[in-house]
Amino acid sequence: MKPHAKYVWFNGKIVRWEDAKIHVMTHALHYGTSIFEGIRGYWNGDNLLIFRLDDHVERMFKSAKILGVTIPYTREEVRKAVIETTQANNFREDVYIRPVAFVSTETVTLDIRSLEVSLAVIIFPFGKYLSPKGIRAAIVSWRRAHNTMLPVMAKIGGIYVNSVLALTEAKSRGYDEALLMDLNGYVVEGSGENIFVVRGRKLYTPPVHQSILEGITRDTILRLSSDLGIQAEERPITREEIYTADEVFLVGTAAEVTPVVEVDGRPIGSGEPGPITMKIAEFYSNVVRGRVEKYLNWLTPVY
């Protein structure tokens, strides 16, 4: 996939896609000093609806605080930038929106406290990231970075090298996605997704303190599960529990709700997407496209 759009929001103004450029000495290019968000916009036939925009903007500012940089715009200005970029490109289809703030000073110093920070908002058409019919996953040898080593609760560019290595290993072994364990051997995440396990009609997901990303989609699923009468619990999950689960699924802005039908060559449950997974996936789809009145406040109409 090679994303493309007509316009990008870059440091306060809308510019043409091909004009949104940085210098090769940009600090973030060398040291991964960027923070970003992934946001979905859904076309429902009448309008483009941005899902949980305010929550994504808020998390971006929290990531900046953790990294120790200041985004040179207010939350409301970032929010407006996302909407303006979406409107400028005039898409009538599902899109992915990527706000990214990065240390842009041309220097090799590691002290970022007084360095310049730039902000861009990128948008492009985006369909399914992973197959909704189910994927095959591998538990890889790379471990999820621990929060005493890196601030994994923040979406910091450099931390995602961990995910790149994990996914590369899984793909090289013939699988669709990677599952990572933490230092204690518990399965905690996919390469870019939170994980849920169904055992005995009950839903389990690792707790936030277990060095996982505090996912907005994860939070969404926990809330929607309650509406569906599905009991959910946050607790560590072992490798054996993954293998013997009734159902496993991954969630994230890009992944949405993706069934995992095989792990390390072992079928999960029947080897097909399970009923609870599909029930949650259908409800999630209805929510993000504005078909559930209770959650209309999560949606920002663009046009």
What digits encode the pLDDT tens for the residues 219-230? 999 999 999 999
Identify the pLDDT of residue 93.
97
CATH 3.20.10.10 matches 135-288: yes
The pTM score is 0.96
Identify the pLDDT of residue 2.
76
Q: So where are the chain's domains?
A: 7-125, 135-288
User: Does 155 qualify as catalytic in the annotation?
Assistant: yes
Supply the mean pLDDT for the chain: 97
Same CATH topology for 7-125 and 135-288: the answer is no
How many Cα atoms are found within 13 Å in the side-chain-facing hemisphere of 263? 26
Q: Among residues 65, 155, 202, 294, which one is catalytic?
A: 155
What sign results for the dihedral spanned by CA atoms 204, 206, 208, 213? negative
Confidence of residue 1 (pLDDT cuts 50, 70, 90): low
CATH number, domain 7-125, options 1.20.140.160, 3.30.470.10, 3.30.450.90, 3.40.50.1970: 3.30.470.10
Assess whether pLDDT exceeds 80 at residue 202. yes
What digits encode the pLDDT tens for the residues 72-121? 999 999 999 999 999 999 999 999 999 999 999 999 999 999 999 999 99
